[in-house]
Amino acid sequence: MTAPAPIPAPVPTLGGPLLEVRDLNAYYGQSHVLHGINLHVNPGEVVSLIGRNGAGKTTTLKSIMGVLRSRTGQIRFDGQDLLRLPSNRIAARGLAWVPEERAILSSLTVRENLELPPARPGGWSLERAYQAFPVLRERGHHPGSKLSGGEQQMLAIVRVLRSSPKLLLLDEPSEGLAPVIVQAIGDMLQELRRDGLSVILVEQNLKFATRLADRHYVLVDGEVVDEVARHEVEGRRADLLRYLSV
């Protein structure tokens, strides 16, 4: 058996980060949930947001995507401020979000889900999607509602890759899935990483997150309280586990 190819480190660019979030505050009505989040994602980097339930990970993704509009601060992507753009224009700039609830169209078949909307230039072809997850070809005529949780997650991810995003936002892709499916999704994300796609990965599964991410931001009560780089993970594993334990 040959050893897997080493994953190249992301190439630092002179152009600065792809995404830069500064002093992000977010609100649900009167409830102030994010308290000055600062984070960035460099081109080709996989960054994780980790933290307990309710720490603000999903709210950070929703704020970046403009799905939650009640927010202040700065969100710069590819040099442009996203704060005032509606979510469809944010998506059109190359950000793709796969929410925790795996937004697929449950009444449409797998194939219809993949074909709607049509692939953009540089996006994944149907063939590439089927090569990554052959089960999607086998289930091509099944409605989304009849898929297992793992199949839904695979479909949700490859569906957004059809639009050729520059930054992929994944919310707990491993949650509730069997180890073999988590492994398959992790392998596919490694492939995307090798291709240079930038990713923000929200995770509570530390093993999954540390396998993939170059850096980890730890969120507690709507604030980033720590940042751990890949090379620091081994020495700081106890801290990371403590941040996640209830």
Q: How far is the CB of 53 from ligand ATP (least distance, A)?
A: 3
Residue with tokens 């099944």: 142
Q: How far is the CB of 202 from ligand ATP (least distance, A)?
A: 6
Q: Which is nearer to ligand ATP, 42 or 60 (CB)?
A: 60
Q: How far is the CB of 58 from ligand ATP (least distance, A)?
A: 3
Q: Which is nearer to ligand ATP, 33 or 209 (CB)?
A: 33
Task: Using the Cα atoms of residue 12, residue 128, residue 88 and residue 39 in order, give the sign of their dihedral.
Answer: negative
Dist CA 52 CA 59 (whole Å): 13
Q: Which residues bind ligand ATP (CB under 6 A)?
A: 28, 31, 33, 51, 53-59
- Helix or strand run (H / E) with residue 91: helix 87-92
Q: How far is the CB of 118 from ligand ATP (least distance, A)?
A: 32
Q: How far is the CB of 171 from ligand ATP (least distance, A)?
A: 7
Q: How far is the CB of 162 from ligand ATP (least distance, A)?
A: 26
Q: In what order do the strands lie in the sheet with 31-41?
A: 31-41, 19-28, 71-77, 80-81
Q: Which is nearer to ligand ATP, 21 or 33 (CB)?
A: 33
Q: How far is the CB of 84 from ligand ATP (least distance, A)?
A: 22
Number of Cα atoms under 13 Å in the Cβ half of residue 62: 17
Q: Which is nearer to ligand ATP, 61 or 233 (CB)?
A: 61
Dist CA 182 CA 174 (whole Å): 5
- Which residues have C-beta within 8 Å of that of residue 223, sequence separation ≥ 6? 34, 35, 36, 37, 56
Q: Which is nearer to ligand ATP, 119 or 220 (CB)?
A: 220
Dist CA 156 CA 130 (whole Å): 13
- 226 exposed, middle or buried (CB, 10 Å; 0-12, 13-18, 19+)? middle
Joined together, the tokens standing for residue 103 give 């937004």
Q: Which is nearer to ligand ATP, 33 or 177 (CB)?
A: 33
Task: Using the Cα atoms of residue 31, residue 35, residue 41 and residue 46 in order, give the sign of their dihedral.
Answer: negative
Q: Which is nearer to ligand ATP, 2 or 30 (CB)?
A: 30
